Structure 1
Amino acid sequence: MSNKFFFVFFFVFFFSCKMDKKDTYATGEISLAIDPSLYDIADALTYRYMQAYPEAKIKLQQVKEKEALKDLLNRKVSSIIMSRDLTAEEKSIYQQKIDKDFQPAYFAADALVFIVPKNSPLEQISVDEIKNFLTDGKRKLIFDGANTSNTDYIAERLKLDQGKIEYSSLQSNENIIEELNHYPHHIGVISLNSISRPFGEKAKALRSKIKILAVSNGQGSYLPEKPYLKSRQYPFTRLLYFLTNENYFGVAKGLIRYSCTDIGQKIVDKNGLQPYNLYKREVQIK
């Protein structure tokens, strides 16, 4: 009788412990929600993380940025990547729903890029012209749809009402590049991340079809290149950061730490974006 009692006790204890055991940074499965314009850098970081930790599974969900934030708050996903600052109201909701301080984990500088067909005579555009194009009703700028990270960011950056800005739209950043020749008097607006991989065959093919405009702001004219992203002189530099609702050190926080430390920052650099955390290299000569 006592042996039977011991067996039942051991069985219940073993399986209750197993059910209570949380996943670790190296094991478990999460979903990461990202705007499609930020897919490439998210794909690069998660791919390398899963190579380092084969028992960690990260599923990428491509949704518009506002939907990603809603999914995080409703715990439908464990982590998201944002490209704009949260409003005071959004930060308050985050702290209430997630029950933790708002702590963005910055890892890269991306940019909005203004593009025209290769044969266009345009070489640059000014911040004032961009603001005027969004409010004059002519819809000269082409974005990847409403409520995307690109439209959200530019409305915030130029202090314009998101609901009142006017623009043309195509389905995706890639689609804008592919179709731009059909709209010679328009200017496409895409994320740098869409074309930033220096040696990626797809990125090289897309870059070959367009001309990138320099953006002037009264102090100078700048291309979306790393030195100007690092100094934030390029007027439409935007910082990318992770948010998570994970309350223990699991895969979501593991990915964030990985992305923000040396190895992750090298991946950011190799993917053509500006790393947020810069690491000094020390060489000893003997």
Structure 2
Amino acid sequence: MAKYLNISLFCGALLGLAACANNSDGGKEQLTETPLAGDSNDILTGTMTVIVDETVADLLEQQVDVFRSSYINSTVKVVADAERPAINRLLKGEGSIAVLKRELTAAEAKGFTQRSIKPRVFAVGYDAVIFVTNAQSSDSTISYAKVGKLMNGSAKGEQNLVFDDINSSSLRLLKEVTGVEKVSAGQVTAVGSDIEVINTVQSKPNTIGVLTLNQYLARRDSLGGLNKIRILSVSKEDNGVAFRPSQSTLGDDTYPLKQEFFVLNYQPNMGLGIGFSAFLTGDRGQRVVLKYGLLPFTMPGRELIIREEANF
């Protein structure tokens, strides 16, 4: 944690100095540089592509909107994809900034290492993998053991698990916590998007959908029939204490499927990625995370009320 805090303070200082230098009238930052093609050579101007794990894409879109409202000569394009394809995009050079739920392995980062590019890694906040089921289902909780049986196909005749993408960070986490290496095609399906996960659960009472808290919060107000959805509490052990996902249970580490997400900056220079990363980890960016309903990595400066439940 100390590493992330030190980086955040460093970037915050850079962002503050640049904002002061470009804000002589004390209002919105009026930057004089015009956007460049490719990565910017300035921390607050130019253009860049941010590759984003699609499970936090909606939050990042909101962050970009707030960032652009202040730094008007910056252009940030968000490219969302499942975790594995997103990492491949980063390795192929489709962008040099990524927001992911894990850092690259040594093998994945080999190409950057060979070019002497060291990543600047910034912790942004916490999301969570959640389970949703049809309201007609009698289930209110789910355990790691049951998830493991559904994933390896040994829970014959029971519900099926529905994911948005087989390459998602959610599936990776569930494989890690259950110890399942090979996923059963008979009881695990991928339907292409978080919207389709919700639609499937609403129409098929015997399915359990796997989403992230970010995805649920993004869809709950825009989709009809959400009263047909029930969010399950999760326990690590059979008959153990189960917890619902919320800012509160993420904050006290009682919800077991908590996911930290990071911004990884592989720009070889002090470009726009530094400014955007400083914004995400600074007071304004952290407030966006908090207001959205997720848990920021650091609490904003003034006292705010954290909801016990995320208005489910």
The alignment's TM-score, normalised by the length of structure 1, stands at: 0.81
Match of 1:43 among 61, 81, 84: 61
Local SS of the residue matching 2:107: helix
Which residue in 2 is equivalent to 1:64? 82
1:82 equivalenced with 2:103 (yes/no): no
Correspondence 1:217 to 2:250: no
User: Which consecutive residues of structure 1, in runs of 5 or more, have no partner in the other structure?
Assistant: 1-17
Q: Is the 8 A contact 2:122 2:281 kept in 1?
A: yes
Q: Structure 2: any 5+ residue segments left out of the alignment?
A: 1-35, 304-312
Letter in 1 for 2:52: I
1:26 aligned partner: 44
Query: For the structure 1 residues 197 and 181, does the alpha-carbon distance in structure 2 shift closer, same or farther, using more than 3 Å as the test?
Result: closer
Residue 61 of structure 1 deviates from its aligned partner by 1.0
SS of 1:222's partner is coil
Paired residue for 1:155, among 167, 175, 180? 175
Partner SS, residue 65 of structure 2: helix
Counterpart AA for 1:257: A
Q: Pairwise CA RMSD of aligned residues? A: 2.6
Question: Is it true that 1:104 corresponds to 2:121 in the alignment?
Answer: yes
Which residue in the other structure is 2:160 paired with?
140
Moved over 4 A (4+): none
Bigger CA radius of gyration:
1
Name the CA distance, whole Å, in 2 between partners of 1:249 and 1:207.
45
> Residues of 1 paired with 2:67 and 2:56: CA distance?
17
In structure 2, the CA distance between the partners of 1:124 and 1:22, relative to structure 1 (3 Å rule), is closer
| Whole-angstrom CA distance in 2 between matches of 1:22 and 1:170 | 37
In structure 2, the CA distance between the partners of 1:89 and 1:165, relative to structure 1 (3 Å rule), is farther
Mapped partners of 1:265, 1:217: distance in 2:
29
Alignment deviations for residues 189-212 of structure 1 (CA, whole Å, 9 cap, x no partner): 0111112259x7327x57444110
Deviation at 1:171, TM superposition (A): 1.4
How far apart are the structure 1 equivalents of 2:167 and 2:121? 21
**Deviation at 1:120?**
1.8
Distance 1:51 1:177, change over 3 A: same
Aligned partners of 2:235 and 2:243 also within 8 Å: yes
Structure 1 pair 85/75, CA: closer, same or farther in 2 (3 Å)? closer
In the alignment, structure 1 residue 118 sits paired with structure 2 residue 138: no
| Amino acid corresponding to residue 198 of structure 2 in structure 1 | I
For 2:279, the equivalent position in structure 1 comes to 258
Using the alignment, how far apart are the partners of 1:86 and 1:76 within structure 2? 16
For the structure 1 residues 184 and 40, does the alpha-carbon distance in structure 2 shift closer, same or farther, using more than 3 Å as the test? same
State the alpha-carbon separation in 2 of the partners of residues 147 and 132 from structure 1.
19
| Cα 1:53/1:24, change in 2 over 3 Å | same
Seen in structure 2, the aligned counterparts of structure 1 residues 211 and 258 have a Cα distance that, compared at 3 Å, is same
Deviation at residue 104 of structure 1 after TM alignment: 2.7
Distance 2:104 2:175 in 1: 13
The aligned amino acid for 1:211 is R
TM-score by structure 2 length?
0.75
Equivalent residue, structure 1, for 2:110: 93
